[in-house]
Structure 1
Amino acid sequence: MTDAIKKVCVIGAGVMGAGIAAQVANAGVPVLLLDIVPKDGADRDAVAKGAVARMLKTDPAPFMSKAAAKLVETGNIEDHLDRVAECDWIVEAVVERLGIKQALYARLEQAKRPGTAVSSNTSTIPLANLTEGRSDQFRRDFLITHFFNPPRYMRLIEIVTSPATDTGVAARVSDFVDRMMGKRIVRAKDTPGFIANRIGTYWLSVAINAAMDQGLTVEEADQIGGRPMGVPKTGIFGLVDLVGIDLMPLLSKSLSATLPQGDAYFDTVRPMPLIERMIADGFTGRKGKGGFYRLDKRSDGSRQKLAIDLATGEYRPEKKPERLPGKAEKDLAALVAAPGKAGAYAWAVLGPVLAYAAGLAGEVADDIVAIDDAMKLGYNWKFGPFELIDRLGPGKLAERLRAEGRAVPQILETAGDRPFYRVEGGKRRYLTLGGDYADVVRGEGVLLLEDIKLRAEPLARNGSAALWDIGDGVVCLEFTAKMNAFDEQVIQLIQKAIPLVKGGYKALVIYNEGSNFSAGANLGLAMFAVNIAAWSEVDKLITGGQAAFKALKYAPFPVVAAPAGLALGGGCEILLHADAIQAHAETYTGLVEAGVGLVPGWGGHGEMLDRFQKTPGFPRGPMPATAKAFEMISTAKVAKSAAEAREMMILRRSDGITMNRDRLLADAKNKALALVEGYAPPEKPIFRLAGESGRVGIAGVVRDFVKKGVATPYDQVVAGRLAQVLTGGEADLVDIVTEDQLLKLERRQFMASVKDARTQARIEHMLETGKPLRN
């Protein structure tokens, strides 16, 4: 169905419109970006062109690669609106003013082809108001597609249709935003603010008001209202800084104009002189001079984090709050029951917000799953409102609301003491508005490991990894340690997986549903071994990792790696050893060991050399591959997307990229099955490397970098060790270097690095601060 949309037009080149256009281009689809003609008129396309130019400099980047920007054509709505006839979907992302949108629609109605979808990115205006006065054909072609900012990174899209919307048009758009743009669709009803912004704005207003009323500091409010509630580490005030303080009054004004009288949101609206003053003075959050938090530059050049005093409006040094009492950090029920300010503030936020969300069931969406998904994907909550209610107990929440004289939402009465979610017959089920339970349904072609775990036991498991049967003769290797880091137990399970798959299965997929695929080797365990001089244990870990990764590479069945998020160091090396990679578009990967003074230890050198040597069009000879691998590894370069990983040749041209995270496992499984028939392991590579002359050339370049201050003296030492491996050690230019010989060189240089006190200082600094040490 995705081939139905071959070109998209986005009208409105502001932050949202430009970001939507960029994500269409990231999907490999041409997009026409139009905006108004500037007043000076020197370049009539300047607004749209300027948006593209800004996005190429923005960090985090809206484009997954600079090449994607070439798919964006720019123009203006005066000269080029007739070109919407070339497009299969038109996205309107202009200013949130009904009159402006309606005037644009009147022009679009004359310019577009019948059957071409038109959608608005509005976040607050009801669909019925938008299409007022339009023809029946336009109404059939119209829907709302509410993206969240930034469009590349936020996975939620709320889709709203009307009874007049053609189901075929809606299906084409839905399929495109799912498979091509990587979004999870939440079906919202045509109500003000839809789901996420209606609940999210209410939540933030309640939380800010309660903090001010109870005399909390912003740090205390963010501590209580942050991680214990499953809210991102930014907390309440940090999140407002992130999205922009100036956005809050705009959302408030829009919701106040459209919500029905008597809505609980109106109880939160009050004068906010502090926020008004902050906005007037340019303190609009991270995009401005700062917000509730800001960084202050000291006279010595260092930076100090400041926080605003909610009572005085003056900035002061950030203060770390006292630790929360008892189990309050991890147990939601314990948090709201905690004595003092922790419990009082937690209940002041959760009580009204959960009751408000529960009261909207049936009004903003047909089921509670949509509401939970909207808040998890749109506001990065770890748990949706109904999942949070389950953690408190629906009956207990209703009882406390009733005791305080508050209205109890109907769905809480319906639930009684029953949970909103439960597992039956290996399936997750949710409570319907009618009081029955129904299966949580996934989209067609979606396969999630979390669902498989509900109905199956692992084939094998230890403390850091597990093996799962995912059907059709395919086994999944899952990493489970913190940050999915590699240790001896991961290596042991890899070795166990080889005979298991060989004995009765067809293929292996390496995949997990953590935030990150793998952060590489467990540096904490490595430093423990270093501190007690257990060098034989470190050597055993490196030798074992090399053997395990080569066992995967030469296994008698296909191995497909399916990364998402960080795949660094060893996490990158395991990708390089797979027969194929099916990467989520948001995969950030690279060989980063040099940043902590190490060299790759699990075959990364040889695999990258082999990648370059076998890539069509890459220059032949021993030095080009060596130089390219050295540049990449010595600078600890990380691809900021799967598209960039392909440009770095970590992904081959034949490797796949999946836009929607929910579809990654199914795509990887299908890729593995496609490789089964006639499968044969790869032949062992042989290398002709640059030898001593290559090392001399590399050393000269590094010396220049040190003189210029770009590299540190210890960087020069690490670079020498990398060069020793990449040029083949003592081998001469005419000598053949085998894969096994290269692994021995790699292991020797790794051990030399890890025994160096300067490397140890880098590792300790990284573990303590999360930042590299430049020694």
Structure 2
Amino acid sequence: MMNRKITKVAVLGSGIMGSRIACHFANIGVEVLLLDIAPKELTAEEQAKGLALDHKAVKNRIVNAALQTAVKSNPSPIYSQNVLQKISTGNFDDDMSKIANYDWIIEVVIENLDIKKKVFEQVEQFRKPGTLITSNTSGIPIHLMAEGRSEDFKSNFCGTHFFNPPRYLRLLEIIPTPYTKPEIIDFLMHYGDKFLGKTTVLCKDTPAFIANRVGVYSIMALLHSVEKLDLTIEEVDKFTGPALGRPKSATFRTSDVVGLDTMIKVAKGLYDNVPNDKAHDLFKLPAYVEKMAENNWLGDKTKQGFYKKIKNAEGKSEILALDLKTLEYKPQQKVKSATLEMTKSIDKVADRMKIFAAGKDKAGELFRTSFFGLFEYVSDRIPEIADELYKIDDAMRAGFGWELGPFEVWDAVGVAEAIEGMKKYGNEPATWVGEMLAGGNTSFYKVEDGVKKYYDIPSKSYKAIPGTSDFIILENLKANNKVLYKNAGASIIDLGEGILNVEFHSKMNTIGGDTLSAINKAIDMAEKDYRGVVIGNDGANFSAGANVGMIFMMAVEQEWEELNMAIRLFQNTSMRIRYSSIPVVVAPHNLTLGGGCEFSLHADHVQLSAETYMGLVEFGVGVIPGGGGTKEFALRASDEFSDDQIVQNTLKNRFLTIGMAKVSTSAVEAFELGYLQKDKYAISMNRSRLIADAKAKAIELADAGYTKPVQRKNIKVLGKQGLGIVHAGANSMYSGHYISEHDKKISEKLGYVMCGGDLSSPTEVTEQYLLDLEREAFLSLCGERKTLERIQSIVTKGKPLRN
């Protein structure tokens, strides 16, 4: 691996992609220079201020406005407001010379070859030889951009195609030209994966590369079959959403978010640039899409597309759907489907595919029409767009958010069975697929010794997917008989080298009695025969917190003794995570709420995904954190106390984090909110590396001679002095109508625990003392009618209730 460090990146072009790419580099701690063109004329506001065109504020107006728009957008492109300090802005006229000091220059200007070439000409004047230079184009052949450039430029130049939004979509396509040095490609593949957190896919310089070529084919094929199968917009979105392992926005809603114009542009580009593609005619727009473009119904950006939001007669917001036959908007219709009903009870997406393929209704028909065509298409694209089939699957999962790539879906349906079906629909797979089956190989992938392998066409054998040897994929270990214990809510899996993993697999990974018993069992096993424990999973979310349905049942039945035992077990499990004789590493990602957050608070180390949304949200269901979270915040406040002023502010800040149920929007913000402690956490940029990184940390702690910590007996609490602050704050919030009477009651209970009760003066107490107060407060709140109403609303409607 070449020794190349990236500490400074220059991004040329600050449009939607440029500004967001700049933000993502700043997220990972890189210094960024974001440049764009200087305006040619003044705005009325600038004229009124008497500014001239050469004034700095005018010259940087375009770039600064673009960055501001990006930062205000939702979802946010930044991990925390603090990362903005890493970005400086400028314009091509005054600041291009600064790129001489930058390690990587990324061009993200408008999709026009002549303009790009002009920018590169300017870059050549200032760029230091050997500096990495790449283009984020999605439609222009990469090799054309290198024409006329110096040898050094050409050998250090290639395409790096990010997907929008670059913080959240995991695909980064790397596209070399014939002149690109191989070590540049190796470096980018590694850097994208390890530091930018991307699934890096090596592409060929073919039209639309891999993901857009296959993704746009898939969308266009669907747009054409909608008419043939007489489907409504609502039906298509229902059939092509989460049940199929696709994002909730499915097909038409996604198109509205991305913008119909973007899709039309890529489709037209493909229609013009792949004249020999067997599916060439599919890239032609259906008449209704042409009409929508004429009407400027481009989706969210024009306030209407396939859907339109209106205010109805009662003044409530309502979302109408477009009738594709009449092109009029109508109220959405409920979608019924026997096939969808049958898939509901099946957790694994792969297992639903056979049901879809055999479906007797419109959902089944749409699946067969779409996928049989897609199977033919992707098998024909090898070796044109990629030599290996796994690259196509990687690109579709990371770029389009599909849970399974096309070849994985084909495997799930059954390769030979699907070919039978394809024939009936007039679809023919590429000859290599037939040869694969004839050679006795019945699937595109298989797992051997915990390693996923793909079918390699030239050698007619299975090979390990490159780059994945550093990943630990729990599914593969389960297929390799590494499960040591399993119950309804969790499994204990042997990760090797003396480390066990506790994987949750309940709905939303909520935590109930079975999850708690699995954690305790894993720690028992590790203390006896292993070296450490990781708590982590590959689910969509780490954990949505405690199973509130179970708490609700006990509270309604007034089974107080059982509820008391359940809360005690939760608290004891959190404490066991901290006070065991082996290291316990928690590896959260995405939603990490309530109990999931409390486990993280007690871990020896938290190895978390950059995208972790962590918070103690119990207030929303009318209680306080009861699994050790309130105790832990009191403990941490005590450790931060110094003089009186700081004591009061620290208590107030810690109190408000719980009282306002603050959830971090990233791992970085989880630290800023106080959920993570300075030397006890690390961030994995690439979610695929999370469990492996957590395992490595557990080994490191064990190797360093881990010793069991001692429970704390010196936690300083403020007693009545603190309660005064809490009550005054809660009263002023209540009288200002910011919180309800019930919120005030919960706030006072929370304050009571965090202040250690109504002690007459500041006192030192033990952890167990605070845990007992926490449990009492939690129990008493469960006896309140308004708390039960809140819990019921979450359990039955999935919505928080303010009462």
Q: Give the Cα separation in 2 of the matches to 1:322 and 1:512.
A: 33
Please name the residue that 2:214 is paired with. 199
Question: Is this contact kept in 1: 2:372–2:427, CA < 8 A?
Answer: no
Distance 1:397 1:524, change over 3 A: same
Q: Specify the code of the residue in structure 1 equivalent to 2:693.
A: D
Question: Is this contact kept in 2: 1:327–1:335, CA < 8 A?
Answer: no
Question: Is this contact kept in 1: 2:641–2:650, CA < 8 A?
Answer: no
SS at match of 2:591: strand
Distance 1:405 1:591, change over 3 A: closer
Q: Give the Cα separation in 1 of the matches to 2:379 and 2:642.
A: 59
Q: Give the Cα separation in 2 of the matches to 1:213 and 1:683.
A: 70
Please name the residue that 2:279 is paired with. 264
Specify which of 130, 133, 142 is matched with residue 118 of structure 1: 133
Q: Specify the code of the residue in structure 2 equivalent to 1:461.
A: K
Q: Specify the code of the residue in structure 1 equivalent to 2:123.
A: L
Please name the residue that 2:349 is paired with. none
Please name the residue that 1:393 is paired with. 414
- Identity across the alignment (%): 36
Deviations 1:166-212 (A, max 9, x none): 12222333332222211111111111111110111111111112112
Deviations 1:656-714 (A, max 9, x none): 11111122222222222222223233333322222223223222222222233321222
Q: Give the Cα separation in 2 of the matches to 1:2 and 1:541.
A: 54
Q: Specify the code of the residue in structure 1 equivalent to 2:709.
A: P
TM-score, normalising length: structure 2: 0.92
Q: Which ranges of structure 1 fall in alignment gaps of 5 or more residues?
A: none
Deviation at 1:729, TM superposition (A): 1.2
SS at match of 1:192: coil
Q: Specify the code of the residue in structure 2 equivalent to 1:682.
A: P
Question: Is this contact kept in 2: 1:91–1:120, CA < 8 A?
Answer: yes
Q: Give the Cα separation in 1 of the matches to 2:274 and 2:248.
A: 31
TM-score, normalising length: structure 1: 0.95
Distance 1:664 1:765, change over 3 A: same
Describe how 1:414-453 pairs up with structure 2 within 5 A.
Answer: 414-416=435-437, 418-434=442-458, 435-443=460-468, 445-453=470-478
Question: Is this contact kept in 2: 1:359–1:411, CA < 8 A?
Answer: no
Deviation at 1:3, TM superposition (A): 5.8
Deviation at 1:286, TM superposition (A): 3.1
Specify which of 147, 153, 172 is matched with residue 162 of structure 2: 147
Specify which of 238, 250, 260 is matched with residue 223 of structure 1: 238
Please name the residue that 1:31 is paired with. 32
Deviation at 1:404, TM superposition (A): 4.3
Distance 1:702 1:279, change over 3 A: farther
Please name the residue that 2:50 is paired with. none
Please name the residue that 1:133 is paired with. 148
Specify which of 635, 658, 662 is matched with residue 684 of structure 2: 658
Q: Give the Cα separation in 2 of the matches to 1:502 and 1:404.
A: 59
Distance 1:154 1:176, change over 3 A: same
Q: Give the Cα separation in 2 of the matches to 1:315 and 1:734.
A: 65
Question: Is this contact kept in 2: 1:8–1:89, CA < 8 A?
Answer: yes
Distance 1:227 1:324, change over 3 A: farther
- Structure 2 residue 501 is matched with structure 1 residue 473: no
Question: Is this contact kept in 2: 1:336–1:347, CA < 8 A?
Answer: yes
- Structure 2 residue 330 is matched with structure 1 residue 316: yes
Q: Give the Cα separation in 2 of the matches to 1:681 and 1:281.
A: 69
Q: Give the Cα separation in 1 of the matches to 2:237 and 2:755.
A: 52
Distance 1:400 1:602, change over 3 A: closer
Q: Specify the code of the residue in structure 1 equivalent to 2:790.
A: R
Report the aligned-residue RMSD.
2.2
SS at match of 2:338: coil
Distance 1:410 1:733, change over 3 A: farther
- Structure 2 residue 250 is matched with structure 1 residue 235: yes
Deviation at 1:597, TM superposition (A): 0.5
Deviations 1:489-512 (A, max 9, x none): 111122222221111222222211
Specify which of 714, 738, 756 is matched with residue 742 of structure 2: 714
Question: Is this contact kept in 2: 1:611–1:650, CA < 8 A?
Answer: no
Deviations 1:342-378 (A, max 9, x none): 3332222222222111211221112111101111111
Describe how 1:102-501 pairs up with structure 2 within 5 A.
Answer: 102-272=117-287, 274-279=288-293, 281=295, 283-325=297-339, 327=342, 331-416=352-437, 418-434=442-458, 435-443=460-468, 445-501=470-526
Deviation at 1:444, TM superposition (A): 5.8
Q: Specify the code of the residue in structure 2 equivalent to 1:679.
A: Y
Please name the residue that 2:529 is paired with. 504
SS at match of 2:483: coil
Question: Is this contact kept in 2: 1:202–1:265, CA < 8 A?
Answer: no
Describe how 1:653-692 pairs up with structure 2 within 5 A.
Answer: 653-654=678-679, 655-676=681-702, 677-685=704-712, 686-692=714-720
Deviation at 1:91, TM superposition (A): 0.8
Q: Give the Cα separation in 2 of the matches to 1:602 and 1:571.
A: 10
Bigger shift: residues 107-116 or 681-690? 681-690
Q: Give the Cα separation in 1 of the matches to 2:523 and 2:692.
A: 21
Q: Which ranges of structure 2 fall in alignment gaps of 5 or more residues?
A: 42-52, 347-351
Distance 1:356 1:377, change over 3 A: same
Deviations 1:392-426 (A, max 9, x none): 22223323333444443223322337111123344
Distance 1:563 1:175, change over 3 A: same
Deviations 1:698-750 (A, max 9, x none): 22222222233321222111111111111111222233222111111100110
Deviation at 1:162, TM superposition (A): 2.4
- Structure 2 residue 786 is matched with structure 1 residue 762: no
Deviation at 1:653, TM superposition (A): 1.7
Question: Is this contact kept in 2: 1:115–1:169, CA < 8 A?
Answer: no
Question: Is this contact kept in 1: 2:450–2:479, CA < 8 A?
Answer: yes
SS at match of 2:271: helix
Q: Specify the code of the residue in structure 1 equivalent to 2:760.
A: D
Q: Give the Cα separation in 2 of the matches to 1:270 and 1:55.
A: 31
Bigger shift: residues 552-561 or 168-177? 168-177
Distance 1:228 1:774, change over 3 A: closer
Bigger shift: residues 381-390 or 230-239? 230-239
Distance 1:520 1:334, change over 3 A: closer
SS at match of 1:235: coil
Distance 1:614 1:730, change over 3 A: closer
Question: Is this contact kept in 2: 1:2–1:175, CA < 8 A?
Answer: no
